[in-house]
Structure 1
């Protein structure tokens, strides 16, 4: 059953369909540019899904013609410094919650993903894009450095040299280029984007949610740890997962030569 936890005119819509939560950016007339109300609504929605063990997959997407065109320049033009602080503070509180939660986070991208829009999708666990999607880090074209985790995620995904090229030149690139660089995982025809995303979200929502969370945290921390530290973290995570209901179900299904049925616990 699908439910929406906000008014249709809210800057962000939190929708729930079973174990799948969708955070839908909802400023279509502004190409979903992030203003202060949207940033605060995004944090509130992320806090809600992060605290709900029934959420087993999260989808980020945008209404209208594009995923997100970045920060709201009207806000930033009126009050550049305070506007930036007021937008980035809630976003910076939300992103670690997305990274640390057990539920996998999918970005569904169509149209423009620029500036903070590109930064946000870089922080997702899986990105599926329409063939017509266009990407641009774009910050340099406005005379500013990047935000929303781009300087952390982009070099890890594409390597330092390519990350600097994308950041310093500020040039747009197509979905096929994003796929080749590893910025997106899959490219589909625009008409198939929602169906393909829904199928992926259903698959992940039926998986071993605790193990997903452990895998996410191990992978994200791996580049900041020496091998002995990472091995110890892997051991701790495996031992924790070994005590879950899902691990017992997975082992039993293997012995019975059946497909496992995971409860997310």
Structure 2
């Protein structure tokens, strides 16, 4: 947590920001707003470090995960994938491995994790984080999409397991294979998220829930969280392994390369939004 103006200036460029507040609420912010908080290796490794810092701190009672700027997380960084196109399977394997560690760390934390979703939550990065958090509060203009099929890849971040648990098998198949976009109200209706609030009240409502949780028995919360996740824990672990194999295999295909390039070609730059 920054303590001086110089520290704050340096921290402003970090891909992930961590603040542990006096009330026991740790705020973890994805900090690549110019790239819609899409995930590259620096962001993923920084996110993993922030989660481990929360795990080590006895002061943390609740974790709030949010995105800086207009979007929560746009999934994997397509530009980063194209920059490594000549070794894409190896690069995707490394990225997916770090995302798996992030997902595992969120689920393994003994404190509740609340995702505050603004804008888009897409791909194994955005939607995968939604699936691995304990609570998801979304602004009314939030949007949710699997997105993987659109670039010739498979979901990751444990999404192939958590999504079926959250919304049921039939809806999960539709969301992944048909690759549609859900608005916040529909995401709430099918059980993907916990609550929808006005955009301008997103963080206020998120912190209100965090304060309720921080006042509860930490031992009871930890046990309840563990028991609930253990009900599907072995499936999530196996799902993460299966996803990693599929991602690497698909990343080696010419179709995946072509679809990644097509996405970049038709997407406006973040600075022009």
- Which bracket does the TM-score occupy, shorter chain normalised? 0.7 to 0.9
| In structure 1, C-alpha distance between the alignment counterparts of 2:209 and 2:195, rounded to whole Å | 11
State the 1:85 CA deviation: 2.1
Report the count of equivalent residues.
225
Q: Say if 2:14 is the partner of 1:10.
A: yes
| In structure 2, C-alpha distance between the alignment counterparts of 1:172 and 1:57, rounded to whole Å | 30
| In structure 2, C-alpha distance between the alignment counterparts of 1:192 and 1:102, rounded to whole Å | 27
Structure 1 partner of 2:102: 94
| In structure 2, C-alpha distance between the alignment counterparts of 1:175 and 1:56, rounded to whole Å | 27
Query: Residue by residue, what CA displacement relative to the aligned partner does 1:55-110 show, whole Å, maximum 9, x if unpaired?
Result: 10001100011101110011111222232122222221222222122210000001
Alignment check: 8 A CA contact 2:13 2:31 kept:
yes
Alignment check: 8 A CA contact 1:50 1:98 kept:
no
Q: Say if 2:142 is the partner of 1:133.
A: yes
Map 1:117-196 onto structure 2 (within 5 A).
117-196=126-205
Unaligned runs of 5+ residues in structure 1 are: 226-265
Moved more, 96-105 or 116-125: 96-105
Change (3 A) 1:2 1:199: farther
Q: Say if 2:46 is the partner of 1:38.
A: no
Structure 2 partner of 1:255: none
Moved more, 54-63 or 204-213: 204-213
Q: Say if 2:25 is the partner of 1:20.
A: yes
State the 1:201 CA deviation: 0.8
Instruction: Quote the RMSD (CA, aligned, Å).
Output: 1.8
Unaligned runs of 5+ residues in structure 2 are: 235-273
Q: Which has the higher helix share?
A: 2
The TM-score with structure 2 as length reference comes to 0.79
State the 1:223 CA deviation: 4.4
Structure 2 partner of 1:256: none
Alignment check: 8 A CA contact 1:178 1:184 kept:
yes
State the 1:207 CA deviation: 1.1
Give the 3-state SS of the residue equivalent to 2:64 in structure 1: strand
The TM-score with structure 1 as length reference comes to 0.81
Structure 2 partner of 1:73: 78
| In structure 2, C-alpha distance between the alignment counterparts of 1:38 and 1:208, rounded to whole Å | 32
Bigger Cα Rg? 1
State the 1:217 CA deviation: 1.2
Change (3 A) 1:2 1:57: farther
Alignment check: 8 A CA contact 1:47 1:94 kept:
no
| In structure 2, C-alpha distance between the alignment counterparts of 1:39 and 1:2, rounded to whole Å | 20
